[in-house]
Amino acid sequence: MPRWPNQLYIDGAWVDGAARRTWTVLNPATGSVLESVALADAVDVDRAVQAARRAFDEGPWPRLDALARGRMIFQLAERIRAKLDDLAMTDTLNVGKPIRDTVGFDVPCAADLFESYAGLPDKIAGKCYGTLPDNVTMQFREPMGVIAAIVPWNFPLTNAAIKLAPILACGNTVVLKPSEVSPLSALMLAELAHEVGFPPGVLNVVHGTGAEAGTALVRHPGVDKITFTGRHQTGVQMLEAAKIGMKGVMLELGGKTPSLVFPDAPLDMVVNGVITGIFYNLGQVCVAGSRLLVHESQHDELMERIVAKVKTLRQGDPTDPKTQLGCLATPQHLATVNSFVERAKHEGARCVLTGSLSKDANNCFYPPTIFDRVTAPMTIAREEVFGPVLSVLTYRDEAEAVRLANDCEFGLMANLWTSDGTRALRVTRQLRAGRIAINGGGALRPNVPVFGYKMSGIGAELGYDEAVHEYTSSKAVIYSLATEKSPWPE
C-alpha cells in the first residue's frame, strides 16, 4: 500500500485545514477507508491563493531562465516515472481503475505531459509588427499570473498533469483543487514537486469540496484565470464566477461521442474500437463513444459481434493485472448511472446486455450495458451518462448518420469508421465536434489540442500554440524611433 500525504500543500509546506476538518477517502471497490485527508475551506483557499500571488508577483518562477524552468518540469516527469507503481496503485485504489490502465496509461501519460511541456518555456515567443517607419511595435508573451485549476476524478493524476504541465511551463503559479473524491495522487504530485525544489507557492494543492473550496477559489480576486474540467452544469457556474472578476476562463466539459460506422468499415477493427471506446475506464471518459450509429444493413452482424465480445471482458478486483473492467468511482455515481439505465428502459430502448448489480452497497461495480433500437429523442441518446452504457442507433444513408451525430448539445469528439478516405473527409467537415478520430487513434497526445464544440467547452486544452494562448498574457509595446518632437499641440 503506498503512503499518502494527508494535508494541504500551501506555500511549499504541508498544513492542516484552518478548521481542522478532514474527509474520508474511500476505496470504491470495497468501501474500505483509504485515508483521512485535510479538507480545505475558504480560509485555506485564501492562504493558497495569496501564496501563489506572492510567488508570482515577487518570486523567481515567472522570471526564471526558460531552460531552468523547463529542467525542473522535466525532473518532475522523471520523479513520476520513478514512482509509477505507487501512483498507479493510488488511482486504482481511489477510483476503481484497473491497475493495467493506471500502469499502462494514466501514470506514463502524466509523465509524458510534463516531459513534453518541459521543452516549451524557451519556445514561447512574441511578435514584431512592421507598421510605421518611425517605430518598432512588438507583442510580448508573458506569464499570466495565478491560475485556479479544478479537475474531476475520472483520471485523477492525468487530469492534474494536463492542467499543470502547460500552466507551469508558461511561468504561472497555480492552485490546484482535485476532486474531493480523488485527492491522493494530486497530493503525491505535490510531494514530488517539493522534492524537485519548485519554489514555495508555485504549486499549491487544496483538497476540498466543489461547493466550498471550489467556489471560494474561483471567486477569489487574486486569481487571474480559471481552468476547469468537469460537468457542463458546473462549467456554467465557472462562467458566473469568472464574470465577477473579469477573469479568463477555460472549460473542458462533457461529451456524447458518436461513432459512425459506414458499411465499408473494417468490422474487426470496429468491434474492438467501439468496445474500448465506451467500456474503457467503465465509460467514465469525457470522449467515451456512447452513441453507436450503424447502417441498418450491418446492424445485426455488428450487434452480434459486439455483444459476444463484451461478454468475454473480465470485470473485477481493480488491483488484479488481469482485470479489464473495474468499478465506478462512488456509490452516488453508480446511482446516477443506474437511473439513466432505468429511464432508458422506461422510454422504450431495448436492453440487449446488462448484468445484475452487486448486493453489496459498499462496492461500485456496474456491468457493461447495451441498449439497442435507441432513437434520437431518448434521454440515453442525448445526455452524458459517464458510465458503461452504449446506445445503438441505426441510419439509412450518410446524410442521416451525420444528422444523428450532430443532433446533440455536446461536441467533444466523433469517431468515424470507413475505408473510403473521401467519405471520411467529407463527413469530417460536416461534424460539429472538436476532435475526429478516423478508424481509431483518438488517444490523448500532449501536442494535440483538445477543443470542445457546443456545450463541450470553451478554449483549448494542450497543444503548444494553444497552451501559450491560454496561459500567457499579451502585451503590445510601441517603441518610437522619432527624433523630432511631434508638432501637435503647439
DSSP string, 54-111: HHHHTSSGGGS-HHHHHHHHHHHHHHHHHTHHHHHHHHHHHH---HHHIIIIIHHHHH
Total site size for ligand NAD, rule CB under 6 A: 31
- Helix 84-95 vs helix 107-118: angle between axes, to the nearest 10 degrees? 130
Query: In the numeric block, which cell numbers belong to residue 283?
Result: 465509460
Round to whole Å and give the CA distance between 363 and 475: 53
Q: Is 195 a catalytic residue?
A: no
Round to whole Å and give the CA distance between 153 and 160: 10
Given the complex with ligand NAD, which of 395 and 464 has the nearer CB atom?
464
Can you tell me whether residue 409 is helix, strand or coil?
Answer: coil
**228 contacts 235 by C-beta, under 8 angstroms:** yes
- Which one of residues 153, 371, 417, 453 is an interface residue with ligand NAD (CB under 6 A)? 153
252 contacts ligand NAD (rule: CB under 6 A):
yes
**Nearest Cα residue to 148 out of 274, 240, 45, 7:** 45
Stretch 10-49: interaction string toward ligand NAD, x if CB under 6 A:
----------------------------------------
Q: Is 252 a catalytic residue?
A: yes
Round to whole Å and give the CA distance between 111 and 77: 4
180 contacts ligand NAD (rule: CB under 6 A):
yes
- Which one of residues 40, 80, 378, 412 is an interface residue with ligand NAD (CB under 6 A)? 412
Q: Which 110-139 residues touch ligand NAD, going by CB under 6 A?
A: none
Round to whole Å and give the CA distance between 481 and 185: 54
In this chain, which stretch among 135-143, 163-171, 183-191, 212-220 interacts with ligand NAD, using CB under 6 A? 212-220
Given the complex with ligand NAD, which of 27 and 394 has the nearer CB atom?
27
Q: Which 414-443 residues touch ligand NAD, going by CB under 6 A?
A: none
384 contacts ligand NAD (rule: CB under 6 A):
yes
Burial letters 284-298, b for 16+ CB under 10 A, else e: bbbbbbbbbbbbeeb
In this chain, which stretch among 129-137, 253-261, 361-369, 395-403 interacts with ligand NAD, using CB under 6 A? 253-261
Given the complex with ligand NAD, which of 59 and 283 has the nearer CB atom?
283
Catalytic residues: 252, 286
Binding footprint of ligand NAD on the chain (CB under 6 A)? 150-154, 177, 179-180, 209-211, 214-215, 218, 229-231, 234, 237, 252-255, 286, 384, 386, 412, 450, 452, 457, 461
